[in-house]
Amino acid sequence: MNTREVRKLLNEMKEDWKTAGRGIQIVEVAQVYQLTTLPEHRTYFEQLAKSPSRSRLSRAALETLAIIAYRQPIIRAELEEIRGVKSEKAIYYLKRKGLIREVGRAEGVGRPILYGTTREFLDYFGLTSLKELPPADSIFEWAEWEREKNELYERLGVDPLAAEESVDDAPIDEDESNI
């Protein structure tokens, strides 16, 4: 077959597929033919490609996520106090993956952001609610942490009770109301 015959066949296929309502199409770009999905399916494939279940979490992200899951709502300073290292990259990554979100602001100096988990977090770990998490005592030493948290809040001028109560007033997405 010569080039002209191949082009003719590809153009016929292109039209046949278009009228048949297929999910893929033949497109000519810069004199090269490509198979692509239909533009109206783009958002579906983008969501599929960035799904949190499609990628692994780093150790730092898992540590950060575990602390947020058990201690939510939590401010970044508390998180960093527990981990002993900066956590902004892990928080950014987890927010981008949709596993955590901002759930409100703590009362006190600077009104720091409070973080909590999302429905995607539950889906990622195959949970129906946070109650299915293993007991926190089996993972963390919370008594010492509570003491350190209160010292940190005092240094920041944040009232821990007011910080937790402010989450009750935070808007919750309808899909995440059961979290």
19 & 67 share domain: no
**Residue finishing a domain among 49, 70, 87:** 49
Is 179's pLDDT higher than 60?
A: no
Number of domains in the chain: 2
* CA–CA distance, 52 with 170 (Å, rounded to integer): 25
Asked whether the beta carbons of 89 and 95 are under 8 A apart, the reply is: no
User: To the nearest whole number, what is the mean pLDDT of the chain?
Assistant: 81
Q: What is the pLDDT of residue 115?
A: 98
Tokens of 4: 């002209």
- CATH number, domain containing residue 67: 1.10.10.10
Pairing of strands 74-75, 100-105: unpaired
65 & 121 share domain: yes
77 & 95 share domain: yes
Q: Which percentage of the chain shows pLDDT scores above 70?
A: 79
Q: What is the pLDDT of residue 160?
A: 64
**pTM of the prediction?**
0.53
Asked whether the beta carbons of 159 and 90 are under 8 A apart, the reply is: no
Where in the sequence is the domain holding 45, given as residue range(s)?
A: 3-49
60 & 146 share domain: yes
Q: What is the arithmetic mean of pLDDT over 24-38?
A: 81
> Which residues 6+ apart lie within 8 Å of 129 measured at CB?
122, 178, 179
39 & 61 share domain: no
Q: For 57, which DSSP code?
A: P
Q: Which percentage of the chain shows pLDDT scores above 90?
A: 33
32 & 72 share domain: no
Q: What is the pLDDT of residue 119?
A: 93
* CA–CA distance, 78 with 20 (Å, rounded to integer): 58
